[in-house]
Structures are given as structure tokens and as C-alpha cells.
Amino acid sequence: MDAILGNGSPRSQVVRQLILVFSGLLIVALLLGLVSLYRIAQTLDEREQAQSRFYAESALAQLQKNERNYLLTHAFWQAAYDHLAGAADSHWAFDEDNVGQTLYTEDGYEGVFVLDDDGTHYAVLDGQLSDQGFDHHSASGGRVLQLARQAVQREQAASGYLLFRGQPALFAAAVIRSPSAPHHLPAPAAVLLFVRVLDPAMLEALGRTVGLSDFALSTAASAEPGRGLLPLEGSGQALTWHVEQPGSTLIRTVVAPFAVALLVIVMFMLVFARQAMRTSASIDRSHRQLAASKSALETSEARFKAVAEAASDWIWETDAQQHLTYLSARFAELTGHTVAQWLQRPLKQLLDCDTLDIEAWLHGLAASEASGNLRCQYRDRAGQQRECRIAARAIIEQGICKGFRGTCSDITDEVAAHAQIQHLSLHDALTGLPNRNKLFRFLEQAEAGQIALLMLDLDNFKPINDSLGHSAGDAVLIEVALRLGQMTRDSDLVARLGGDEFIVVLARPGQQEEVDRFCLRLIETLRQPITLDGHTVQIGVSLGVVLSAQYPAAPNELIRYADVALYGAKQAGKNTWRYFSPQMNAALLEKRTLERELREGIPRNELVLHFQPRYKVDGITVASAEALVRWRHPRLGLLRPDRFIPLAEESDLIVQLGNWVLREACERARAWPLAVMVSVNMSPAQFRRSDVVRDVADALRCSGLPAQRLELEITENVMLNDVEGALHTMTALKELGVRLNMDDFGTGYSSLGYLRTYPFDSIKIDKRFVQSLGKSDSDRSVVQAIINLGNAMGMTVTAEGVETPEQLALLSDDQCHEVQGFLLSKPVENQVLMRLMEAGKAADRVMP
């Protein structure tokens, strides 16, 4: 070594210069190495950041998806719709634990709520029923409602983050809907909401699912070194986690030796060759350490791949040419293909998209540095077409696109479920026929062409449903749907609007005569008996028809026209059809006006009672007085009950009217000078819509009239709808002590059978028979038979509508008990009746 330094020999000079040049080059090379090392390290860290962020996002997305799906199983549920969409039934929800404690104990939801714009209707907090509303715990109520209602448009649930009791939390929310009528949303739609607090334990577990460590929440706006950051919108906080920094590690382990190396080289310049030896040794060491760092990096990548295998969607990566470079193992599980088979092949060979070119789409993503979603198809190993959604993002390093990376979720089941929901929303669940929604679509599409729209109403359906049960009713509806389907062409449409209302739309109806023939055929077809295990039933049908050629209109108007025509057909005696005409509409409008006026008129005391006495057959002794209601109409004058009772019977008005009559009749009768009975007519509709036993008891109590002075006149139609229920009600009425009179006897369905079963005290022969007395012998024998029957069963028999002395004489001969009619007295005002009674009393006193 000394020889080399000391000796200025030309050879050693050359060697010295060579060594100097060599050392200089070495320094430059080392400096260059350092710079590129720094850049590599930076890239490594960036890639690690991006990868870990991608996995954190996947973890959150997966979590939200699970939460939404779970919530939907509760919100898109008929029972929940029945019990929670309106007034919340906490017995069903909490006590029966349908939407209750288990959601906390098993599923870990700290909050379960049902809300709408009026506030919270149902709340379970930490598994306990609570009366504190959601707003008490969070300020996000409005946002949740809005998101859930937006999501329902897509038949989805909403999810996101919020602050709950001061803590960041995850929520999922959806509008409560009925699967049988998914598009019918009550307004304001109630929303079911699940809240899960993001506590350290659950974050830790979430992190584990994607192999990231130290998941935590932070209020910081940007990431600290060595940590990833993902803002949780709505909660005011962000998710952070630990990120490996292979690049920084590399620098830390390599820069020091490099620095040493540089120093050594400088020394080498001073001490030449010996130091050169040391330097080379040092470089060797550096290289070994570099290799070690690289292998650390490789393990870190391997770890990510391992994570990818755990995710439920499969993960893919391509190079810049879009050739697959990586597929997670889930790929093989979900598609049946092997990973090896697809590596190095173009992505677009695997996935197919019919709206976009995948290759161009990915280039677009690279250019805009954005991430995107695309719905695609692929064929699985069995050759089956599957639906999927890919999420993709370009891998950009120092401004250069190095490839693409993304996930792929199989959505085949989701798509199928969506199609099913679509079907449900357009079809009636019972008959499978199109429903109102589909009908409207059909009519909108048909708007230009000519159609005939027929609205059907089944006659006699309700009694079948009531007496034979709902399953029998359902069977009838299904049979009707079947027959209608057989009668129509493919281009026509048969829809069920609900209940026993059907619509038939004829797409090419032809002339009115042709429609007439169709209606006749339809009525005949539906009239054919229907056999339901053991029973044979028969139904009829009334039809309202509108021809769009005559009255072109929007779908809802056309349906209304048909409804008006249907009303006409029913008025005309059922089992027939009527075409819409504007006059009908006028009649209907008049009817509606009258109904409104009656509703207002009852409380305004526009009703008045007239009384028609009923006499013993001697024609002198008053046995009872029948209350007959009149309406002093401000515009139309005094109206007979026939004008307004049928109207009232179509709605709840009959209950109001009936109760007014009951009270008024009892109060008047209480003040009569004679303790005769008062008879009150009761409509079958009252039995259906109200608790008549309670109504009668109330009227008696309020007026103080003894029960035995009240008689109720009931027609046998009351038994038609609900035989069992009617028997029960009438027995209860008898227990109150009132008398029951069967009105209009002889006009109903199967009177004799009923008479035996039901607790009637008397029967009233319909005036139709009485009035033909003396004209027709057969009617006289009917009257005689009824009188005999009454006698045999110990019932009082009354004849109503007695107009002539001859009729009275015949009834007297046949030993009818009581009579009523214009011959003896017309219905009169209460004042007049009282005077009649006073006169009767006076006569009594005169005649011992």
C-alpha cells in the first residue's frame, strides 16, 4: 500500500488515475442509486397506501351491503308492513320479538327505530323498549328519512354514518313496504332504521376481515404518516388504520450503509486500495440488506393477496395492457374457472358488457384517475351466464398508468330478486293477473289505439267469502281469473284491482255489437257453477263498459267512466252490462252531492221521524208505531227514505243515521201518552259496520225507555252475509229484552229455515202479497200459509200495506194478528200520532 502511494512510477500513476476515475464513477453511481432508491421507496409506500385504502373501502362497503340486506329482510316484509307501517304495534314488534330484543342481543344493533315525518313510532335502545325518539339521540333523522325514501325508488335500503348518542355509528334504513303491493307506499312512508355504534371492538374485528390492523376513529382531516384515512361522511369522523411503509423501511436500512459507503469512498481516495477493499465489502453488505428489505416487501404483498382471498367478492388486477395479472382465489370458487387458466389473458375476454366497451371504459378511468362501476356478464365454468358488477380503478404511479385493479361482485341473485320484485309490483299475488300498475302501463301504451275497457263486479261473491271462508273466496277468484284468461286474446289484458274487482281491456274491440256479444259470453261463462271441494257455488257479474273510440280519455278517467257505467249496470238489476254515457256521470255526481249533503244534514237535524201505527186486527187498538225516517232537504224538500237510505248504506253514514233514528224513536216513544211499542227499522249494513247491540243498549239507556217497548224490524238480508254472526247478534239483542220483527217476509231467500233458527217474535208479511189479496188466489194462499206458520211457531203475524177494506176483511178472516196500512193510518208526524193516541185513550175510557 505504501508502495502504491509513495511510488510515482508511471504504472502506478496510471493505476492511481484509474483508481481515481473508478472512484469518481463509483460515487456518481452510488448517488444515482440513492436517488432511484428514494423513488422506489416512495412508490412502494404509495402503493401500500393505495392498496390498504382499497381494502379498507372494500371492508366498509361489504359491511354496509350486509347491513342493508339484513335490514331489508325486516322492512320488505308483509308482517312488518301490517304492524309497523301505520300505528306501531309494539306487542307484535317487541313482545313477540319480531323486531325486538334479539336485534341487540344477537345482532348487536344499539338502536332500532321506526320513524316518519311525525317522529319516532317505535324505538328499541340497547334491547329495551324505549319512549325516547330517535331525534333524542341523533340529529340525522331528516337525512335518514330522505336517504331511505330515495333508496326505495331503487327498491333498496340506504346506509351510511351518523352520530348516535355522541358516538360515530353505522346505520341502515329502508321504507317499510309490503311485498304484495311493493309500490303502494303509504304517505308519509314509515322507515325502519338499525343503528350500530362503531366501537373499538367492532372496528378491530372489521379490520381483521381485510387483514388491516389498528382500525380506529379519528377527527383528523388528513392522514398521519404511517396511517391510512377514510372519512366517514355524516359522522364527522374518519376511519384510520396502520399502514406498512416498506419504502421508508428500505430507506432506513439502506441509507445508513450507503452513507457509510460514501465516507469510505472518500477515505479510499485518501488511502486508496485498502479502503477500496473495505468499500466493496460494505457494498456487498448493503446489497444483502437491500435484498432483505425486498423480501419484506414481497411478504407484505403476499399478505394482501391473502386478504383478498377472504373477501366475498373476487379481486382482479391487470397490467397496463389489461391482461390479468392477478385473480383472488374466490374467483375460482365463484366462477368455477381456475385462476391459472385466466392469468395473462385480456380482461375483456372474461367479462362482457353490452352497453360499453370494457377496454375503452378502463382507459377512460385511467385518464380521469377516477374509479367506476360497470355491470357485466360472464359465463361460469358450467357455461351459465352470470351477472356481475365490477368496480375498477387505474393503478397510477408517478403519473403513469401501470395497470388496473378492482373487485367483481356476483349479482345474479340480486338481479333475479329484482326481476321478482318487478313482477310482484305488476301482478296480483293471488291470481297472478296484472294489477293496477300494469293495467295503467298497458293503457298508457294503448292510448293511441282503440280499446274497450270493461269493469267487472262479481255479484254474490261476498256471501260466499263470508259463509264458506276466505280460501273458498280465493278459489272463486282464481277460477274467475282463469275463465277470463281463456276468453280473451293475447293482445287483451285481464287485471285484478283487488277484492272481486276485475278489469278486461279488449285491444281491438270492433263494433259495439261485437262488444255486446263478448259481454253476453262473459256473463254466461262466469255464471257456470264453480265447484269447490264439496260445494258448488254460482256467481254473477255486472259489467261497466267504456269504448275509448267514443270517449277518449286518460287511463284513470277511462277506469272512472267504466266504474260509472258499472254502477248503472248494477242499478239495472245485475248480470248485465251498460256503456258509459255522460248522463250516467251526472247521476253519479248528483248521488255524491246528496251523500255529502246527508253527511252534513244529520248533525244539522234535517232528519225527522214520522210514525205509522200498527193496529190489532180489530183496526182500533194501537199495538205499535213504526218509525219511518224522512229528510227535510233544504233544496229538494221532504225526501222519502228510498232516496237516501241506499246511499247511506254504501258508506258508514248508515251507522250515524241508524243511531240517530234509534235515539230519536226511543226518546219520542218515552213521551207518548200510551205505553205502546215503537218499531225501528234496522239496515243489514248497520249490522256489518257497527256493534248494534251496543248501539241499541245506549239508546235505551239514554232515553230511559224500557227494553220491552222497543221492537227492531230486520229483513232477512241481514243473515245473508254472515249467518253465524247474525245469530249471535240477535241472541244478544234478545237478551237486552227488545223484540225482533222479521220485515218484508216472503221476499227474501230461504225464509223458513231462518225463522226456525233465529229468535224472532213476529213476522211482517210483505205488502206485495197483501196488495194482491182479492186479486190473486195464489197470493191469498201464500198469506194464509204465512199466518199458519206464525201461529205454529208462536209468533205474531202482521200484514203491512193494507189499503182497502176488502183486504182488511180477508186478513181478519184468515186470523192475521195485526195490520198496518194507509187504510188505517198513513205515517204521520209525532204530534199527530200523540193526538191519535189521546183519542184512543179517551175511547178506551168510554168503552169499558
How many residues interact with ligand C2E (rule CB under 6 A)?
Answer: 24
> Beta partners for 578?
544
Measured between alpha carbons, how far is 653 from 593 in angstroms, rounded to an integer? 14
CB nearer ligand C2E, residue 176 or residue 730: 730
**Residue 64 interface partner, choices ligand C2E, Ca ion, none, CB cut-off 5-8 Å depending on type:** none
| Residue 531: strand, helix, or coil | strand
**Residue 821 interface partner, choices Ca ion, ligand C2E, none, CB cut-off 5-8 Å depending on type:** ligand C2E
Contact of 144 with 193, CB cutoff 8 Å: yes
Position 645 contacts ligand C2E (CB under 6 A):
yes
User: What does the block give as the cell for 68?
Assistant: 342493508
Site for ligand C2E in 765-794 (CB under 6 A): 767
Measured between alpha carbons, how far is 734 from 757 in angstroms, rounded to an integer? 13
**Residue 133 interface partner, choices ligand C2E, Ca ion, none, CB cut-off 5-8 Å depending on type:** none
Measured between alpha carbons, how far is 649 from 221 in angstroms, rounded to an integer? 69
Measured between alpha carbons, how far is 175 from 157 in angstroms, rounded to an integer? 8
**Residue 410 interface partner, choices ligand C2E, Ca ion, none, CB cut-off 5-8 Å depending on type:** none
**Residue 799 interface partner, choices Ca ion, ligand C2E, none, CB cut-off 5-8 Å depending on type:** none
3-state secondary structure string across 151-218: HHHCCCCEEEEEEECCEEEEEEEEECECCCCCCCCCCCCCEEEEEEECCHHHHHHHHHHCCCCCCEEE
| Residue 584: strand, helix, or coil | helix
CB of 660 to ligand C2E, least distance (A): 9
Distances (CA, A) of 111 to 138, 140, 175, 257: 11, 13, 17, 57
CB of 644 to ligand C2E, least distance (A): 9
CB of 646 to Ca ion, least distance (A): 15
Position 629 contacts ligand C2E (CB under 6 A):
yes
CB nearer ligand C2E, residue 208 or residue 689: 689
CB nearer ligand C2E, residue 597 or residue 744: 744
CB of 738 to ligand C2E, least distance (A): 15
Query: How do 796-799 and 762-765 pair as beta strands?
Result: parallel
Peptide bond into 188 cis (omega under 30): yes
CB nearer ligand C2E, residue 629 or residue 797: 629
Contact of 662 with 694, CB cutoff 8 Å: no
CB nearer ligand C2E, residue 267 or residue 647: 647
CB nearer ligand C2E, residue 495 or residue 819: 819
Only one of the segments 138-146, 412-420, 498-506, 626-634 lies at the binding site for ligand C2E (rule: CB under 6 A); that segment is 626-634
Of the candidate residues 229, 334, 546, 661, the single one contacting ligand C2E (CB under 6 A):
661
CB of 719 to ligand C2E, least distance (A): 16
Determine the straight-line distance between the first and last CA of the chain, rounded to whole angstroms. Answer: 168
CB of 710 to Ca ion, least distance (A): 14
Distances (CA, A) of 591 to 363, 448, 594, 823: 69, 33, 5, 34
Contact of 134 with 117, CB cutoff 8 Å: no
Position 133 contacts ligand C2E (CB under 6 A):
no
- List residues binding Ca ion (CB under 5 A): 681, 713, 743-744
Site for ligand C2E in 708-747 (CB under 6 A): 713, 743-744
Start-end of H helices in 212-344: 246-271, 273-310, 329-335, 339-342
> Beta partners for 237?
232
> CA torsion angle for 101, 102, 107, 110 (degrees, to 10)?
0
Measured between alpha carbons, how far is 637 from 644 in angstroms, rounded to an integer? 13
CB nearer ligand C2E, residue 684 or residue 790: 684
Residue with cell 485518501: 270
**Residue 162 interface partner, choices Ca ion, ligand C2E, none, CB cut-off 5-8 Å depending on type:** none
CB of 817 to ligand C2E, least distance (A): 17
CB nearer ligand C2E, residue 275 or residue 683: 683
User: What does the block give as the cell for 189?
Assistant: 312512508
Q: H/E element holding 540?
A: strand 540-547
Cβ neighbours for 672, distance < 8 A, ≥ 6 positions apart: 625, 833, 834, 837
User: What does the block give as the cell for 418?
Assistant: 329484482
CB nearer ligand C2E, residue 402 or residue 768: 768
CB nearer ligand C2E, residue 323 or residue 768: 768
Position 827 contacts ligand C2E (CB under 6 A):
yes
Residue with cell 294503448: 446
How many C-beta neighbours within 10 Å does residue 799 have? 30
Position 692 contacts ligand C2E (CB under 6 A):
no
Position 667 contacts ligand C2E (CB under 6 A):
no
Start-end of H helices in 528-635: 555-571, 582-601
**Residue 612 interface partner, choices ligand C2E, Ca ion, none, CB cut-off 5-8 Å depending on type:** ligand C2E
> Beta partners for 819?
615, 799
Position 624 contacts ligand C2E (CB under 6 A):
no
| Residue 619: strand, helix, or coil | coil
Entry field: residues in the chain: 848
DSSP 8-state code for residue 847: -
Position 628 contacts ligand C2E (CB under 6 A):
yes
CB nearer ligand C2E, residue 41 or residue 685: 685
Only one of the segments 230-238, 370-378, 420-428, 677-685 lies at the binding site for ligand C2E (rule: CB under 6 A); that segment is 677-685
Position 640 contacts ligand C2E (CB under 6 A):
yes
Contact of 486 with 495, CB cutoff 8 Å: no
**Residue 628 interface partner, choices Ca ion, ligand C2E, none, CB cut-off 5-8 Å depending on type:** ligand C2E
Position 684 contacts ligand C2E (CB under 6 A):
no
Of the candidate residues 118, 486, 642, 846, the single one contacting ligand C2E (CB under 6 A):
642
Of the candidate residues 12, 462, 803, 834, the single one contacting ligand C2E (CB under 6 A):
803
Position 821 contacts ligand C2E (CB under 6 A):
yes
DSSP 8-state code for residue 827: -
Measured between alpha carbons, how far is 614 from 67 in angstroms, rounded to an integer? 74
CB of 764 to ligand C2E, least distance (A): 8
CB nearer Ca ion, residue 240 or residue 679: 679
How many C-beta neighbours within 10 Å does residue 709 have? 20
CB nearer ligand C2E, residue 179 or residue 646: 646
**Residue 238 interface partner, choices ligand C2E, Ca ion, none, CB cut-off 5-8 Å depending on type:** none
**Residue 803 interface partner, choices Ca ion, ligand C2E, none, CB cut-off 5-8 Å depending on type:** ligand C2E
Position 159 contacts ligand C2E (CB under 6 A):
no
Position 829 contacts ligand C2E (CB under 6 A):
no
What is the maximum alpha-carbon separation in the chain?
176
**Residue 22 interface partner, choices Ca ion, ligand C2E, none, CB cut-off 5-8 Å depending on type:** none
Site for ligand C2E in 585-614 (CB under 6 A): 612
Only one of the segments 343-351, 385-393, 453-461, 797-805 lies at the binding site for ligand C2E (rule: CB under 6 A); that segment is 797-805
**Residue 661 interface partner, choices ligand C2E, Ca ion, none, CB cut-off 5-8 Å depending on type:** ligand C2E
Residue with cell 319512549: 131
Site residues (CB under 6 A) for ligand C2E? Answer: 612, 627-629, 640-642, 645, 658, 661, 681-683, 713, 743-744, 767, 800-803, 821-822, 827
